[in-house]
Structure 1
């Protein structure tokens, strides 16, 4: 374990920087997607696979990653994943043919999964007390912050240096973080945890069954499924409903307010309430805000209020993992389950809500969102009773 609180805090910050790099593995293709499409005009609708392959890999192998990372060691997994991600970015910067680029995205998905499972587990290990809640809420912002940085800095960079320049910059970033982490993690040693996990020879399928049967391991992930089914979908749908004059400002502010609530309000609330309780309240408040659509609340106010409420869910869901799981192995399993359910939610949420919007209109779509949040509350309450 790191010898000083300053060192622990610095390590948490650098692990968060690793998370930014992992999120950028999505953002570097999603944000400048118009440029990506121009590079592969022959791909047609299959171009979308460049965005969804990582989600598909996570949805299938998220829990498997949790099991394997617990066995090989957290520090080794993070550094290996960063190096792999950096090398793949350099490879992608050569702008290979479409089929080869798809292969690179599959390999990159392995890197992404390893980071998003191992890094938060390591944060939970090196922090304690209220600092653990702060560390986990900081981690919860990695996706939103990375996409915001890619919009503010990445897009102009692509305009000046091209997509290949952005991919090289991402590769340099990943390798730089790997070097810094390698230096910091040299002071972290937990051989007893690794040895205990390596002796566990439970088959992988049984690990999946046991994990999702556990109300400790599964609870954060099940709630996260309902969160991710709506978050990205609403970011895609709501802008089209907003007034054109204020659309850009509101859309830019929506994820920012969610991040701010996670960092400031959730961190404060964790001193007085459990992460699970905050998550449940977050879903209830989110559903209540959506219901105000039927009372005539203007959509700009609804959009900002909803993403502020979802910030409670975002921060508290990650904080719930170490709160419910005491060992490194169970934390890795829980983070693997969150990766699995989060990627599944990203894959199915937007098509479902867009289909409902197309067939039945805005009211039906908003009612569906409310029902999803209600299902999340019910799932959390049922699992809390099981734990009791």
Structure 2
């Protein structure tokens, strides 16, 4: 067990996470510019955004298992160099088919980073600092999207879309150089089972049968289902004068609560308890929004409540699972369920709103938060039963 947290390496790994989130988000912030580049693509342009997440749905757990086998330092460095190469290729604005293929490769790079980085952060942090370091990791998506919105999109508008891809390629290469010079390999945990399809299927089933390995992912599914969909469909239901301010403040409030109140709670309570608190408060916030539609205060209360879920979920991975191999498996499941939640949330929410009107938003999102709480309660009971069984 380490005696001092390696904060410089932790921040370097978080920076790599920003690059991974940008792999997902760089197409989102320039989506309205893509029809000019690929005028014949039509509705298929959506795949340029969604393919990275689709790879995560299919291979999230596999990535966790593979990263444990090829080792964490090697995995993240290879993923960063691969991500840099893909973005450099995209600066050429290849044909639509080749661009789609590059997004699949980028999805593999993205997965390796989001599995290896939090696993390494947990190993580089003391137990008392993991609440802070893993909560910091949990902000990587929100921070990256904010940077892309404030700097990435203006860069693409001023210098063209290839300039954004080139900047991303340089950023990923810079992260790889820094981490290759500063990051040490973790101690070897011994030989992993040989890679085979049958072994992967067995490992896959073992992860989701385990109330320790699967718990963070189960909660993360319902969190991501709600978070992205709420930010996507909420704006039309807010008062005109408060709409822009509220939508800008919500992700910032979530990050701020996560890094302050969330970190303070994690020093006193188990991470799963903090996650359950976040789901409970999020459910109550949705009830508030249902009773007072469009209330900016209810929206900010909701964002703050979701911030508790955000950071504590990654801390729960390290608290429930000991050793980097188990944590990599759990992080792989989190990646898989997160991408599934991101992919399902907005279409389901949009269908509900089209069918039943504005009341569907608090009912669907509140129901998802409630199911996240129930999932954690049931898995907690399963863990207690497993620990009480005589050996």
Provide the residue aligned with 1:119 in structure 2. Answer: 117
Structure 2 contact 290–362 (Cα < 8 Å) conserved: no
Structure 1 contact 197–329 (Cα < 8 Å) conserved: no
Render the CA deviation track for 1:203-247: whole Å, top value 9, x for unaligned: 101111100000000000000000011111001111121222232
Structure 1 contact 32–158 (Cα < 8 Å) conserved: yes
Shift, 1:130, TM fit: 1.7
Change (3 A) 1:276 1:309: same
Q: Whole-Å Cα distance in 2 between the matches of residues 302 and 58 of structure 1?
A: 32
How high is the TM-score relative to the length of structure 1? 0.96
Provide the residue aligned with 2:187 in structure 1. Answer: 190
Provide the residue aligned with 1:332 in structure 2. Answer: 328
Question: Aligned ranges for residues 209-358 of structure 1 at < 5 Å?
Answer: 209-296=205-292, 298-358=294-354
Q: Whole-Å Cα distance in 1 between the matches of residues 364 and 53 of structure 2?
A: 23
Q: Whole-Å Cα distance in 1 between the matches of residues 53 and 194 of structure 2?
A: 31
Unaligned runs of 5+ in 1: none
Q: Whole-Å Cα distance in 1 between the matches of residues 30 and 245 of structure 2?
A: 19
Q: CA RMSD in A?
A: 1.5
Counterpart selection for 1:150 from 148, 151, 171: 148
Unaligned runs of 5+ in 2: 385-391
Shift, 1:198, TM fit: 4.9
Provide the residue aligned with 2:388 in structure 1. Answer: none
Is 1:84 aligned to 2:82, yes or no?
Answer: yes
Q: Whole-Å Cα distance in 2 between the matches of residues 65 and 196 of structure 1?
A: 17
Question: Aligned ranges for residues 45-124 of structure 1 at < 5 Å?
Answer: 45-124=43-122
Q: Whole-Å Cα distance in 2 between the matches of residues 183 and 353 of structure 1?
A: 45
Provide the residue aligned with 1:375 in structure 2. Answer: 371
How high is the TM-score relative to the length of structure 2? 0.95
Q: Whole-Å Cα distance in 1 between the matches of residues 219 and 375 of structure 2?
A: 7
Shift, 1:35, TM fit: 1.2
Shift, 1:126, TM fit: 1.2
Render the CA deviation track for 1:56-103: whole Å, top value 9, x for unaligned: 110010000000000000000000000000000000010011111000
Q: Whole-Å Cα distance in 2 between the matches of residues 139 and 83 of structure 1?
A: 21
Change (3 A) 1:370 1:189: closer
Question: Aligned ranges for residues 13-52 of structure 1 at < 5 Å?
Answer: 13-52=11-50
Provide the residue aligned with 2:389 in structure 1. Answer: none
Q: Whole-Å Cα distance in 1 between the matches of residues 324 and 290 of structure 2?
A: 45
Q: Whole-Å Cα distance in 1 between the matches of residues 215 and 4 of structure 2?
A: 30
For these two proteins, the number of residue pairs brought into alignment is 383
Shift, 1:188, TM fit: 3.6
Structure 1 contact 229–345 (Cα < 8 Å) conserved: yes
Tell me whether 242-251 or 290-299 shows the greater mean CA deviation.
290-299
Counterpart selection for 1:134 from 119, 129, 132: 132
